[in-house]
Structures are given as structure tokens and as C-alpha cells.
A and B are shown apart, each in its own frame.
Chain A
Amino acid sequence: MSKLAELRNARWAPWMPAIIAVVAVALFPLFRPPLDATMSDVIQALAYVVMALGLNIVVGFAGLLDLGYVAFYAFGALAAGWFASDHFSKVNGGEGVHIGVSDFVQTAFPQGIHVSFLLIVIGAILVTALAGAVIGLPTLRLRGDYIAIVTLAFGEIISRFAANGDSVIIKGYALSNGRESISPIDQLNLPLVGEFDSATNLRFYFWTALALVLVVLFVNFRVRDSRLGRAWIALREDEVAAASMGVPLVRTKLTAYAIGATFGGIAGAFLGVYNNSVNANQFQFGISIFLLSMVILGGLGSIWGVVIGATLLSFVNTFLIPDVLDKGSFNDLLSNVGLDFTFGEVKFGVFGFILVLMMVLRPQGLLPERRRTAELTQGVGGDEAIVETRA
């Protein structure tokens, strides 16, 4: 009895459900065959969780709507494409550059730049942080809808560049392979663990993705409960008051964009390596909206909410929509009423419908942040929010 009370009062007690969930997820691959479609879907979902958590910093914490988040995914993936493949085939007189990669990569891919995954992630972090700050700059003098438009355009510019990168030739190298893939990308190779092989075993990829999620979660919690996190929320609530209390607007906003962007870069680099190819078709505007839907579904600004939102939506994306296609019954339903399309074709319509449902039934999200609950149930700052979106 007293032991139980002790447990309940322990400092880590509130974290218990999270710890159990993480352990359960970590054990999941052991109960599946090493090459398993479900496991592959979950890996994809974990990468989405990383990106959604990044977007949540910009949109949820700092209150800056970002519709071009896919750009950071693209940057991260391209970093993997450039620096872990033979894309730059003539570099170093055709002998390639190899840093921290296995002997196998050295002998099998003598050309191009091949750098270890950890270095690629660090590179992706630097590049996307810079890109985040760059996209932040023009939005500094804007509010609400206008920020959304600028970020939307930025996302489009980057994805167009990636798509047409095959004809952007700089010093004999294309920017990307456009809608043809840059492929193959080197397998993930971690110190101590060695080189992974996605053709035979996905477990290590799974655990790496989970580790990335945990790192990103850790950073999220730490930053939220800090001087910077408070400044973001102050900024979201009232920019004028925040500035008058000593919060530097420019730096605080740019930091939000930069940190948010790095998570996109990390996830992008991971997905590039995991998918073994980097293809411009992956960087579509829909991804930005998909991620934003995850954040809204889970609850703007709520870290656990966003994790749940991202997991749910990618579940819908990978299981539900293809499944109803397979069974055919739902599509029969559509064709029976004279509709000539499948759910797969109107995927984003389905997500839009989910969002509309959420707005009607539970606007604060599935697992709302404490603050947002206060805002919505007590009408706090309600009119201000309207001013902000209209301004």
C-alpha cells in the first residue's frame, strides 16, 4: 500500500504511461518477421511523428502558420541523396570521397560522396536550420494568413526545384534527379551496430526511427519549459506585450522556424536513407498539409497530442485508405452511387473531412494542451484570435 503510494508520488510517475508506450513500441519488431510490411509502415509513421513535432514548434508553440514544411523534408532527403550516393560521380577524379562508411560501401560504390549517416544528419540539421531562418525572414513583418501564403510559396519553390533539379546543372552535376530517383543511397551505418540492410531486416531502422522520435521529444519538452518556450507562447498570445516585456521578436521567431525546420531535416535524411532513394515526387505540397493536419488533429501545441495525431493519420494513410481499396466494398459503395473515383484518389479529401469533423466535434484536438483548453472553453483570447487570422 505505502509502496504503491510511493510509486505514485515518484518524480517520474507522470511519465509512466509514456514509458510503457515507448517500451511496447520498442518491443514490437521482435514479434514481427524481420521484413514486415507493417513494420515498414510504422517506420514511416515514426518519421512523420518527427516532422509533425517539428511543425508543432512553429505552428503550435510560436503560433506561426507554416504551409511549406515539406521543404525541410526535401532538404534533409537531398542531403542524404547528395552525400550518401554516387550522385557526384566525378568527385575526387572519380575516386569518390568516403568518410566513416563501411568497407562494403567503399568497394561497391567507389564513386561519389559517401558520408556516415550521423554526419549527414548533422549536415541536414545545419542546412535546414539555415533554410528555416531564411523562410522566417520575409514572414517577420507579416501576420496570420500572409505568413501562410509566404511559407506555402517557399514550400512550392523548393519542391519545384527538386522536381526540375535534373535540368539544373551546376559544374556538371544535376541538383537532383527530379522525378527519377537518386538511388541507391547507402544503408544506414551506425558505430557499434554496423551497417543495416533494409533488404533483409528492418528492425534496426525501426529502432533508429524510434530513437530519433525520442530525441526530438526530449528536445521538445526541454525547449517548451524554458525561457525560449515561454517567449514563444508569449509571442503567440500577444506580440506587442511580448516585445515590451523584453522578448526580441526577430530572434525568437527565427529560432522557432529554425528548430522546427531541423526536425524536418532529420526526418528527411532518415527517410532518404531508409527508402534507399530520393525522388522529387516525395516532396509534394500535400505533405505539408498532411503534417499540419496531424498537428491540428492531435492538438496545437500539445506534444503528446501531436504524437497521437501523427500516428493516427499515418495509420489512416497507410492502412485504412489502401485497405478499403483492396476490399473493394467501399469503392463499390462509391460506384453504386454513381461516383467515379476511389478513396485513394481523394486521399486529401478524406483528411480534409477528418479535419472538418474535428473542428465541429473537438476543435481543441484529441489531446489538447492545457492552455488551449482554457482558450476554447472559457473564450479566452477568442476575439484576439479572430483579429489575428483576419489581419
Chain B
Amino acid sequence: MSDESAVGTQQASSGSDAAAPSKLSVEGVSKIFGGLVAVDDVDFSIAPRSIVSIIGPNGAGKTTFFNMLTGLYKPSTGRIVFDGRDITGTRPDRITAFGVARTFQNIRLFSTMSAVENVMVGQHARMKGGMFSSILRTPGVRREEREVRERAREMLDYVGLRAAEFDQVSSNLSYGDQRRVEIARALASEPSLLLLDEPTAGMNPNESARLTEFMGKLRDERDLTILLIEHDMKVVMEVSQHITVLDHGEKIAEGLPQEIRENERVVEAYLGKSAGD
């Protein structure tokens, strides 16, 4: 059902791409580990309220790129601007407070915490309770705790976790549910830009399709801009308005899904050069 509507908005927003100020813009960013250039002089930008994918073979530097956007790595060169604010080399928790949230390729939930507690940690940046007020448990802290817990439950409900699982220790949840909790935890920080690192990894086609639909819903209902690293081409082609392709740390192509599908360099990167070459 979201299929056609996604295509519709895709054309609409790709038309306005040039005019709108970008949500996130990356200028000449590189990351060098010792002698290895993991990301090489990448320029990149996302329009607000769009869904954009980064694809590329394993080791192309996609996750390194994400880690720079979220402040886990400091770029070796270049500039990252989010919502008109330079966030190059800013601390990860500050970037989260500015409104960037992420999930991880290999799920990184706090394994001994319950689903609800995980999502409560996600709201850390939006909370005020300090040490002394927590010790005294002031009315303000009491109210905040209640609200945060309530919001965590709403968020888990929103991503489709069954209420019976809310208080389960997260490591006891099924793989799909863990992915859900991770998205809920990211959403709990009230981001305007959501970075998803291979969200459909390990999912069956059915689950992937549902997640694809959910991403459209997230953008429409919560005004989110979504940046996606994904290997599942079906998901990528269906959901993205724009695709950027990395290979060996370099951006080798970008454009509409249709253009990427037919781009020779992309096909080469994925399938190798043809024997005759």
C-alpha cells in the first residue's frame, strides 16, 4: 500500500531537492586509520523529510561514515553540518541532543536491561533530573520518571512490541523484537534525523517488507529524515528517494534508485569487472 505513495512523494521531493536547505550536509569528509583510507573525500547531503540510502559492498566505509555522523569518530578532514550547525568532531551525546539518533548493525541493546529501561536510557538527553534532585526524589524528578517510563511504553507500542515483552530483559527478546526495541530507543531521543545501520539484516522478506512500510510511516508521522545503510536491494529500491553508493571509501555514484540500478560503476562494484575488461 505504501508502495505507490512512496513513489509519489519520491518524485515530489526529488523535484524540490535543490531548493530545500539540506537536513544534513557533508563536505569532503575523509577518515584515515593509520595507512587505511576508510572514507575518502565524500560529499553528501540529505533533504529534510526524505529517506536516503547508502549502499556499497562490505568494507566500503558505510559504517565508518555513520560513526563520523554520530560523533563516534572524528573525521580526518571535512565538515559535517546538521540543521545548519557544524557538528564536525562534536561529542556523540551532544549530537544526539541536537537530534541525530541511530541504530547499530549488530544490535547493541543494553542486554541486562528490560525493553522499557533501554528506551528510558534513550531519553537521557531529553531529561533534566540531576544527582541531588534524584537523591531527594523531588516532585519534579518523580513526575519526570513517570513520564519517561510512560513514553517508553508508548514508543515500544509504536514500533509494534507486544506489551507482554515490555519488561522482559532485552537479551531474552527475539531477534526481530530486539531490532524493534533498538528503533524505539533511537526514537525516544526525539531525533529529526534517524540513521539505521542495516535494519533488515537477519530479517525474512516478510519482516523486511513490514519494516520498509514502517520507515515510510516514520517519515510521514514523525517528520523524520531517515538515512539508511542497507544490503537488501529490494528494500533500498522501494524505500529510497535517493541513493549514494560507496566503494573503497569513495563515493562512486549517487542518484535516483532507477539511475543507480543502471549505473555501470555500481554494477561493477557489486559484481566485479566483466571478464573481457
Contacts and interface: CB of A to CB of B under 8 A. Distances in A.
Contacts of B123: 246
Contacts of A245: 93, 96, 101, 121-122, 124-125, 185-186, 189
Contact of B117 (A230, A238, A259, A381): A230
- Looking at A229, A247, A381, the one whose CB has the most chain B CB atoms below 10 A away is A247
B62 interface: no
B171 interface: yes
A237 B118 CA distance: 11
A218 B108 CA distance: 32
Given A245-B96, A245-B185, A246-B189, A371 B124 contact: no
A378 B91 CA distance: 34
Contacts of B129: 226-228
Interface string A373-390: 011001011001000000
Contact of A371 (B71, B113, B121, B130): B113
Nearest to B98: A246
A218 B134 CA distance: 11
B108 A240 contact: yes
Interface string B37-69: 000000000000000000000000000000000
A231 B72 contact: no
Report whether over half of chain B's contact residues are helix, strand or loop; otherwise say mixed.
Answer: helix
Contact of A374 (B70, B96, B141, B171): B171
Interface string A210-235: 00000000110011001111110110
Interface string A297-309: 0000000000000
Given A228-B134, A249-B93, A378-B172, A244 B72 contact: yes
Given A238-B108, A372-B112, A222 B137 contact: yes
A234 B114 CA distance: 11
Interface string B75-112: 00000000000000001111011000110100011111
Contact of B131 (A228, A230, A233, A372): A228
Contact of A259 (B101, B131, B185): B131
A224 to B, nearest CB: 10
Contacts of B92: 243-244
Report whether over half of chain A's contact residues are helix, strand or loop; otherwise say mixed.
Answer: helix
A365 to B, nearest CB: 15
A240 B137 contact: no
A227 B130 CA distance: 8
Contacts of A116: none
Interface residues of A, number: 34
B134 A226 contact: yes
A329 to B, nearest CB: 46
Interface string A28-45: 000000000000000000
Nearest to A246: B125
A376 B171 CA distance: 12
A226 B171 CA distance: 22
B171 A247 contact: no
A192 B70 CA distance: 56
A333 interface: no
Contacts of B141: 226
Top 5 A-B residue pairs of the complex, sorted by shortest distance between their CB atoms: A246-B125, A226-B134, A371-B112, A246-B96, A241-B108
Interface of B: 70-72, 91-94, 96-97, 101-102, 104, 108-113, 117, 120-127, 129-131, 134-137, 141, 144-145, 148, 169, 171-172, 185-186, 189
11 contacts: A226-B129, A226-B145, A227-B134, A230-B117, A234-B110, A238-B108, A244-B92, A245-B121, A246-B93, A249-B93, A380-B111
Given A241-B104, A374-B171, 10 more contacts: A222-B135, A223-B134, A226-B131, A231-B124, A233-B113, A234-B113, A244-B70, A246-B97, A246-B125, A375-B112
